[in-house]
Amino acid sequence: MENSLLTLLVFVPLIGAVVVAVMPKELARVVGLAATIVTFALSLYLIPPFLAGGEASQAVEVFGSAYGEKLHFVERLTWITGGSFTIEYFLGVDGLNMPLLVLTTLVSMLACLASWNFNTWKVTKSIKGYFVLFLLLETGMIGTFVALDFFLFYIFWEVMLLPMYFLIGVWGGARKEYAAIKFFLFTLAGSVLMLVALVAMFFYSGEAVSGEPVASAYRDGVTLTHGTFDLIELATNETIQDYFGSAMFLGARFAPVMFIFLFVGFAVKLPVVPLHTWLPDAHVEAPTPISMILAGVLLKMGGYGFLRMCYPIFPTGGEFWAFLLAVLGVVSILYGALCAMAQTDFKKLVAYSSVSHMGYVLLGIAVMTHTGFQGAMFQMIAHGISSPMCFFLVGVIYDRAHHREINRFGGLWLTMPKYGTMATIGFFASLGLPGLCGFIGEVYVLLGTFEARHTFAWAVPCAILAASGVILTAGYVLWLIQRVYLGPEKPEYAGYPEASGREMAILVPFAAFCLLLGILPKHMLFDYVNGTLEQIVNSVLVATQHATTFAAGL
Amino acid sequence: MTTAMYLTQLSPELCLLAGACLVWLFGVSKHAGVRSLMAPFTLLILVAAMVCTAQFGRPGSAEQPVGLLFTDLAYYVRWATLSVGALLLLVNWRTPADREQGEFFGMILCSMAGVMLTASANDLVVLFFALELVSVPTYVLVALSRTDSRASEAAVKYFFLGAMSAAIMVYGFSFLYGVGGTTVLAGAAGHTLQGYFTDAGAMSNYAIIGLVLAFAGLSFKVAAVPFHAYVSDVYEGAASPVTAFLGFVPKIAGFVAMAKLMSVCNWHLPEPLVWMLWIVAAVTMTVGNVLALLQTNVKRILAYSGVAHSGYMLIGILVGPTWGEGPMHDGVAAVLFYIVVYGVMNLGAFAVLATLSIKGRSVETLDDLAGISRKAPLAALAMAICTFSLMGFPPTAGFMGKVYLFSGALSTGERSLVVLAVIAVINSAIGAAYYLRIVAACYLREPTADHQRTGGIAPRFAIAVAALAMIALFIRPIDLVTQAKHATQSIHTQSSSLAQSPPAPVKTLTAAK
Amino acid sequence: MLIAESSLAPYASIVIVIAVAGVIAASMLILAHAVRPALKGDVKDSTYESGMPVIGDARRRFNVRFYIVAMLFLLFDVEVVFLWPWAPVFHKAAATGEAITTAGGQPASAGFLLAAMGVFAVFLVVGFAYEWRRGMFQWD
């Protein structure tokens, strides 16, 4: 089990999908839920190896001295090979993807439970198709997080789009076709440049190892040495790293160009303003469980990509683009918050708040400090808990009212007290109230940004602007709560039933995680991730300092 | 060379041509029962040709007949033509009218024989003859495919433009003969064009004119800009099964002929010619994608998408083969792989159109396709797989094909080719927009019309094979790629037997930078 | 002379033929114009001076059968042209009993040549049978 846990994790949902496909449709949701529960239970086995670490410094030792030396549950097989071209089935878990995996399985499980009332949806066609695609989506998401071969990662990354496209497009709202195509095209357009980067990295790594420039080898008819798609190798092999730092691509420096190629792909997913416009459309049209997954898991893939690929492999690229990234992060925070404030559609408001929250992730990463990275990571997990919860809260009320106009609601707390309590926890977590999960991530990001003031002159203004985003967030969340939950009870909502047992079963775990992450951030997250993050930051700092002195020497 | 050896080496082609004669004769039989047997009989002939290929088609050291050169390239193309051709036959199982069975299937066999001869042609005259043998039957097929005036119009357009392109091409060939003093392309002995280009050093202006004209004629076959104008009308006018045929057979012949011409000049083209091909490739993929975006008829969308795919494949022709083990560095192997994948996925998509009809008229527009996932779930699934494969999206073979093509260009490190690869990936993202509209029509829309199934079991079987092949070639592409690689190495051996230095493609471009 | 020395010498006769043809044609037209009496009038300008009435435009449609006949003529008559170069070669090979060398540098025996023409003839017969069966030789 230890040896094939990740394969199991990837393929249990797939097996579930096959079972759903062959079983009668009455059993579809039972099998679907069972598969997601089994996957969640399996993902809990990922945690024990990470429990040994105590303090952050100890954690580093536990993880070994360098990035990638301490991977757990590694599986390595050759998939496609031929000459110098080898694609591996290479899976592994470290502090970076472990929490995201558990988050994925958790959110999937709860989203599956949220799909339980499928028969009451407006669009009820083909329940089997829905659960098959749902489980395929889970396979794609888990695969994306565990793949350590770039080619394999790319395939999971792309394949994941298909079920999502159909889930939005078939079971979505009025403008589902537009939203689904837009979602697909944005992500695909972002990832085609990633494909160029993927192939270019393969050849340049081969070039680095053989010491033979690709072009001349081509002209002289020489066989090239193996390049590699291994993400860990690309990040840690010094020869490759040195070569990536100095090589040229189309007349520009290789590292910054590749960094931006990868960045665009991940930025669409994160999403970063101005590449975010697919997100409100997709969220508004998607059914509630799919919105939960979209917000809870898919957006995290952008941040994961930055931390797994952009920074470890092209640290000098990160330094080169730091200002641009930080500015985009701040713009996302402020623009997302302002847009959220202007919305009258409940779901769209939550969608724009996601843009704003993911802006913190980008800012925290862009400043390249340890605190910033920690903050970004925490923000991803925290948002992965709070935003699916918010979307589900919207879904609960939509199921009853069949509209999402904020201004038509009012006094719901009085009608549905238990639901109102949960809603308050969820939205306050999203707001960043101290003691709830949203707070830690934002504070760490802001601290990290201030910390970078010696490296980057623009760090302090960015931090100040980002901090003002917190106030805007408070503004729209409080205003929202006031309009929807407070005030006198409205007669048209008077008879609404209280949140059912199933709904509470979804909301309570989310609320519990909001509290736990807010109160015990160290035990809930930092202990597991700090080791890996520290390795990444250290390698980035070493590389960029090296690069600076190199430039000074010239 | 004895007559017997000659005949055995040519047996797959002879098998097809003799079969075509028989099909023509039996096709005009008085008995409806005999006429209705023409399709299975044609399949039998294809199987017989496959057996001949397996038995005698392997390139050996045997003496080669005049005008032909049986290499691994010919072996690969024979198998590709016969196997994809068998699928195309299944798709066309019920296309022709009862009294035109013989003509229709005979033409299909002739066209395939032409493709196979193109791959083994070693003489300009044979090459021209083979290419015409590919094209002329396709004009007839378009006219026979259905009875309405659109098909006749399409056939006439196709015929006149095709005749013009053939004239251009043969004019180019005459220049090559003029400068080289021979029509023999390559070979170890005697005076050959390849030998001429190897010895001549710099290429004369007449040779450049000849190559430009020859490539112009071949551009028509592969539907590259500026010779792409006919595709939309012809593809729309012909019945869908015949359109599937047009998407594969002339294209593979065109690309194989291009590879042959390139190998004749040792992949060392003069700079203006390289830039011409570069521009043609870039413009072809862009124009194809942009025009496809504007269409609402699925056949026209797929027609223009075919133009774009030709643009992608031209990259591989420009990159050329290289010496190395990996498939990643070989442009021509990538083209050979991609053309087969393209043929199959294109066939799958058109076959789905062919097997569904609304009120007796076959499905053609996006609106016609609306909601077929409800009516024909498996056909819709196959359509989705083929469409995603055309898009170049994993987990399908189209993705692997694109990776091979683009990585071939990136592996050279030549700036111009890298830029071309970047243009191509951006184009494939643009292309996704119209492919998604097809999938969206199948799955996301509500059915607006009452669909009937037509065409019987054979096309459905072909659709299933095509869809499964797209998945299988994604999971395990390496066997086919290795065969493609062998095929290009045979071009090399052919080159290197004369050329002392290894081919140095597009070297001039670097010098220009 | 210059022409005699240059490589164009073999073409001189063609040039002379063209020139003579041109001179003859031109002189006939000029002579006719100079000698004939110049008469004008309705009868003189009509298509057929003999008085036969014109029944329609020259560009009228013909029965499609004419085209089919023309194509059949091309197929069967022009194909005979291919027999001509084959005949002397075959005669040479058959008379001497030795294999002759083809343009590609390979030997071809009389049997091979006969077989090759046999294949050609088979194609002709197939075409003939097909056309017969399709009713191409029937006028209606």
Between the alpha carbon of residue C123 and those of residues A281, C118, C127, C136, the distances in Å are 66, 9, 6, 17
Q: Find tokens 């077989």 and name the residue.
A: C115
- pLDDT for B187-232, tens place per residue? 766 788 888 888 877 778 888 999 999 999 999 999 998 899 899 9
Of B150, B5, B9, the closest CA to residue B68 belongs to: B9
Helices B377-391, B415-443: axis angle to 10 degrees equals: 160
**Residue listed under structure tokens 């001949």:** B52
Q: What is the pLDDT of residue B125?
A: 92
Any idea which residue has 């039972």 for tokens? A30
* Mutant choice from B325, B337, B411, B476 vs A, greatest count of A C-beta within 10 A: B411
Q: What is the 3-state secondary structure (H, E, C) of A281-317?
A: HHHHHCCHHHHHHHHHHHHHHHHHHHHHHHHHHCHHH
Q: Which of A21, A112, A53 is nearest to A530 (CA)?
A: A53
Task: Report if residue A252 sits inside a domain.
Answer: no
- Interatomic CA distance for residues A307 and A310, integer angstroms: 6
Q: Is B28 on the interface with C (CB under 8 A)?
A: yes
Q: B487 to chain A, minimum CA–CA distance in Å? A: 15
Inter-chain CB proximity C133 and B1 less than 8 Å: no
What's the pLDDT band for B506 if we cut at 50, 70, 90? very low
Beta bridge partners of A78: A88
In the predicted structure, residue B504 carries a pLDDT above the cut 80? no
Residue B167 pLDDT > 90: yes
Cis peptide before A271 (omega within 30 of 0): yes
Across A221-244, average pLDDT: 76
Confidence check: pLDDT of C3 > 70: no
pLDDT of residue A423: 92
Q: Does B448 touch chain A (CB under 8 A)?
A: no
Q: Quick check: bond before B226 cis, omega within 30?
A: yes
Average pLDDT over every residue of B168-172: 95
Q: Do the Cβ atoms of A306 and A269 come closer than 8 Å?
A: no
Residue A243 falls inside a structural domain: no
pLDDT at A237: 80
In whole angstroms, give the CA distance from residue A56 to residue A77: 33
Question: B165: which 2 tokens?
Answer: 């392109």
Q: State how far the alpha carbon of C140 is from the alpha carbons of C69, C130, C134, C135, in Å.
A: 12, 17, 12, 9
Residues facing residue A311 across a β-bridge: none
| pLDDT given at position A446 | 93
Helix (H, G, I), strand (E, B) or coil at A73: strand
Per residue, the 3-state secondary structure of A250-283, as one string, reads CCEEHHHHHHHHHHHHHHHHCCCCCCCCHHHHHH
Decide if C106 and B190 are in contact by the 8 Å CB cutoff.
no
Pairs of CB atoms within 8 A across A/B: 134
Instruction: Count Cβ atoms below 10 Å from residue B469 Cβ, excluding itself.
Output: 25
Mean pLDDT on B486-503: 56
Of C104, C115, C126, the CB nearest to B3: C115
Within its chain, how far is the Cα of C27 from the centroid?
A: 28
Q: Is the Cβ pair C106, B65 closer than 8 Å?
A: yes
Domain contains A280: no
Q: Does A22 fall in a domain? A: no
Residue B255 and residue B334 in contact, taking contact as beta carbons nearer than 8 Å = no
- Mean pLDDT computed over A16-42: 91
Omega cis (within 30) before B59: no
- Calculate mean pLDDT across residues A292-296: 93
Taking 3-state DSSP, the helix, strand and coil percentages for chain C, each rounded to the nearest 5, stand at: 65, 5, 30
pLDDT of residue B507 exceeding 60: no
- Extract the tokens encoding A87: 């694609």
A494-503 long-range CB contacts below 8 Å, 24 or more apart?
A494/A415, A496/A400, A496/A401, A496/A412, A496/A415, A496/A416, A497/A400, A497/A416, A498/A416, A498/A417, A498/A418, A498/A419, A499/A396, A499/A416, A499/A418, A499/A419, A499/A422, A502/A113, A502/A116, A502/A117, A503/A392, A503/A396, A503/A419
HSE-up of residue A25 (Cα within 13 Å, Cβ side): 9
Number of domains in chain C: 2
**How close does chain B come to A307, measured CA to CA in Å?**
24
Q: Stretch B22-48: mean pLDDT, rounded?
A: 91
Taking 50 as the threshold, does the pLDDT of residue B250 lie above it? yes
Phi, psi of B238, deg, nearest 5: -75, 155
Between chains, do B440 and A181 touch, taking CB under 8 Å as contact? Answer: yes
Query: How large is the C-alpha radius of gyration of chain C?
Result: 27
pLDDT confidence bin for A48, thresholds 50/70/90:
confident
- β A85-93/B361-362 pair status: unpaired
Confidence (pLDDT) at B62: 62
ipTM of the modeled complex: 0.83
Q: Average of pLDDT values for B490-504?
A: 48
d(CA A96, CA A116): 32
With 90 as the cut, is the pLDDT of residue B165 above it?
Answer: yes
Where is pLDDT greater, at B464 or A84?
A: B464
CB atoms within 10 A of CB C33: 9
Instruction: Report chain A's mean pLDDT, rounded to a whole number.
Output: 86
User: In which residue are the tokens 């529960």 written?
Assistant: A37
Residue of C104, C122, C130 lying closest to B66 (CB–CB): C104
**How far is the CA of C19 from the CAs of C1, C10, C15, C16, C24, in angstroms?**
19, 16, 6, 5, 9
**Residue C59 belongs to a domain:** no
Residue C34 belongs to domain spanning: 2-45
Phi-psi category of B121—alpha, beta or left, where left has phi over 0 and alpha has psi -120 to 50? beta
Q: Could you tell me where the DSSP H helices lie in C97-139?
A: 110-134
B193/B213 Cα distance (integer angstroms): 16
Question: Which residues of chain B lie closer than 8 angstroms to A14, CB-CB?
Answer: none
Judge whether residue A68 has pLDDT over 80. no
Q: Which of A148, A163, A177, A17 lies closest to A89 in space, CA to CA?
A: A148
CA distance C3 to chain B (A): 23
Shared-domain flag, residues C71 and C127: yes
Q: Do B399 and A82 touch (CB under 8 A)?
A: no
Task: Give the tens place of pLDDT for each residue, B100-119.
Answer: 888 999 999 999 999 999 99
The DSSP code sequence of B163-214 is HHHHHHHHHHHHHHHHHHS--B---SSS--HHHHHHHH-SPPHHHHHHHHHH
Note whether B169 and B214 are within 8 A (CB): yes
How high is the pLDDT of residue B6? 74
Say if A236 falls within a structural domain: no
Of A175, C80, A215, the C-alpha closest to B416 is A215
Determine the average pLDDT of the residues in B229-249. Answer: 93
Count CB neighbours of C26 within 10 A.
10
Q: Which of B330, B407, B422, B473 should be substituted to probe chain A, the one whose Cβ sees the most A Cβ atoms within 10 Å?
A: B407
Task: Suggest the residue from B5, B10, B13, B25 to mutate for an interface test with chain C (most C CBs closer than 10 A).
Answer: B25
Output A449 or A49, whichever has higher pLDDT: A449
One-letter amino acid of A12: V
Question: At residue B513, does pLDDT exceed 50?
Answer: no
User: Does residue A429 lie in a domain region?
Assistant: yes
Phi, psi (5° rounding) for residue A90? -120, 110
Confidence class for position B53, pLDDT limits 50, 70, 90: very high
* C17 assigned to some structural domain: yes
pLDDT at B126: 93
**Residue among B325, B395, B503 minimizing CB distance to A84:** B325
Inside any domain, residue C50: no
Angle, to 10 degrees, between the axis of helix B331-355 and the axis of helix B72-91? 10
Using the predicted structure, report yes or no on whether residue B134 has a pLDDT greater than 50: yes
Neighbours of chain C (3+ CB pairs under 8 A): B
Domain assignment present for C14: yes
Instruction: Count how many pairs of residues, chain B against chain C, have C-beta atoms within 8 Å.
Output: 25
Please check whether residue A432 lies inside any domain of the structure: yes
| pLDDT of C1 over the 90 cut | no
Cβ atoms of B92 and B245 within 8 Å: the answer is: yes
Give CA–CA dist B411/A221, Å, rounded: 12
> Where residue A292 falls among pLDDT bands split at 50, 70, 90?
very high
pLDDT at B205: 86
Are C128 and C69 in a shared domain?
Answer: yes
E strands, B317-371, are 356-358, 361-362
Contact with chain B for residue C122, Cβ under 8 A? yes
Cis peptide before A388 (omega within 30 of 0): no
Rg (CA), chain B: 22
Name chain B contacts of A199, Cβ cutoff 8 Å: 403, 406-407, 410-411, 421
pLDDT average, residue stretch B147-156: 90
Q: Judge A/C contact: 3 or more CB pairs < 8 A.
A: no
What pLDDT sits at residue B510? 37
Residue type (1 letter), B179: V
By the 10 Å C-beta count (0-12 exposed, 13-18 middle, 19+ buried), B78 is classed as buried
SS3 B362: strand
What is residue A58's predicted lDDT score, i.e. its pLDDT?
47
Instruction: Kindly list the residues from chain B whose CB atom is less than 8 angstroms away from the CB atom of residue A166.
Output: 443
The residue segments making up the domain with residue A326 are 316-519
Across the interface, do B21 and C123 touch by the CB < 8 Å criterion?
yes
Cα-Cα-Cα-Cα torsion B422, B427, B428, B429, nearest 10 degrees, comes to 100
Give yes or no: residues C68 and C41 share one domain.
no
Alpha-carbon distance of B72 to B479, in angstroms, equals: 15
Quick one: C76 and C117 in the same domain? yes
Of residues B327 and B47, more confidently modeled: B47
Q: What is the pLDDT of residue B189?
A: 66
pLDDT in tens, B332-364: 889 999 999 999 999 999 999 999 988 888 888
pLDDT in tens, A435-482: 898 899 999 999 999 988 888 888 999 999 999 999 999 999 999 999
Structure token digits, residue B45: 């002939």
Q: Report domain extents, chain B.
A: 3-512
B276: closest CA of chain A, how far (Å)? 21
- Whole-structure pTM over 0.90, yes or no? no
Percent with pLDDT over 90 in chain A: 47
**Predicted pLDDT of residue C4:** 53
Residue C91 lies in a domain: yes
- pLDDT, mean of residues A399-420: 88
Same domain, C80 and C25: no
Residue A93 pLDDT more than 80?
yes
pLDDT confidence of residue B139? 94
CB A370 within 8 A of CB A526: no
CA end-to-end span of chain A: 53
Contact between B3 and C133 using a beta-carbon 8 Å cutoff: no
Pair C33, C74 in one domain: no
Residue A527, H or E segment: helix A527-553
Structure tokens at B238: 């012909």
Measure B165 CA to nearest chain A CA, in Å: 34
Question: Please, how many CA atoms are within 13 Å of residue A525, restricted to the half-sphere of its CB?
Answer: 32
CA C121 – CA C116 distance, rounded (Å): 9
Q: Domain check: are C41 and C68 in the same one?
A: no
Domain for residue C53, yes or no? no
Q: Which residue has the higher pLDDT, B203 or A138?
A: A138
Alpha-carbon dihedral angle through residues B94, B98, B102, B104, given to the nearest 10 degrees: -50
